[in-house]
Amino acid sequence: MNGPSTISLPLSGGLFNFRVAGVAVINEKLLLHKTPADQFWSLPGGRADMFESTKETLLREMKEETGMSVLVGNLMWVVENFFEYNQVRYHELGFYYRMGLENMISQDDFNAIEHGSELLFHWHPLDKLSEIKIHPGFITAELVLDETITKHFVLDSDNLNLG
């Protein structure tokens, strides 16, 4: 939940976010979510709270969004992401972890409500990921590699001058 301690700061010209997301691959399917209005999918997760570790953020966000308890695995990616969404420029720092789901009953689609907004969750087959739009876009290629080392990415979808 975005509260007074959520690390999401409006700054000159945009918004800074500190985001944590989980990568759940089960039965050759990846869990993704989106809002009904979005034309793209993303990994589930959310914004970190002040004085909360990134692993704690993922545990909390998944419980809030899905009601599920998760197992947080190894850190896969650290991402500096620069993009525009709904006419707002973002500077986002993201931590992406491997994630398991405890007591998963099915891989059926489901909906959740977060901050009054609906989220649609869907398990996408890995071999069909190239047919959908995922943000950040590097995810599809990196999942195919399935490497065990942590990687750092800088994504500049707005062609910002990163100096």
CATH code for position 68: 3.90.79.10
Q: Which residues touch 55 (CB under 8 Å, ≥6 apart)?
A: 72, 97
Task: Give domain status of residue 135, yes or no.
Answer: yes
What is the mean predicted confidence (pLDDT) over 104-111?
A: 89
Task: Give domain status of residue 53, yes or no.
Answer: yes
What are 60-88's pLDDT values in tens digits? 999 999 888 999 999 999 999 999 999 99
Mean pLDDT over the full length of the chain: 90
The answer to whether the pTM exceeds 0.75 is yes
Q: Find out whether 83 and 135 touch, Cβ atoms under 8 Å.
A: yes
What is the mean predicted confidence (pLDDT) over 139-162?
A: 76
Task: Give domain status of residue 13, yes or no.
Answer: yes
Task: Give domain status of residue 32, yes or no.
Answer: yes
Q: Report phi then psi at 123, rounded to 5.
A: -90, 110
Task: Give domain status of residue 162, yes or no.
Answer: no
C-alpha closest to that of 39 among 147, 111, 135, 105: 135
Domain count, the chain: 1
**Helix ranges restricted to H, the chain:** 54-66, 139-145
Task: Give domain status of residue 99, yes or no.
Answer: yes
C-alpha closest to that of 82 among 4, 158, 161, 163: 158
Q: Report phi then psi at 131, rounded to 5.
A: -90, -5
Question: The domain containing residue 101 runs over which residues?
Answer: 8-156
Task: Give domain status of residue 1, yes or no.
Answer: no
pLDDT at 156: 87
C-alpha closest to that of 51 among 1, 91, 7, 97: 7
pLDDT at 103: 78
Task: Give domain status of residue 161, yes or no.
Answer: no
C-alpha closest to that of 57 among 11, 104, 4, 97: 97
Q: Inform me whether the pLDDT recorded for 142 exceeds 90.
A: no
Q: Inform me whether the pLDDT recorded for 128 exceeds 80.
A: yes
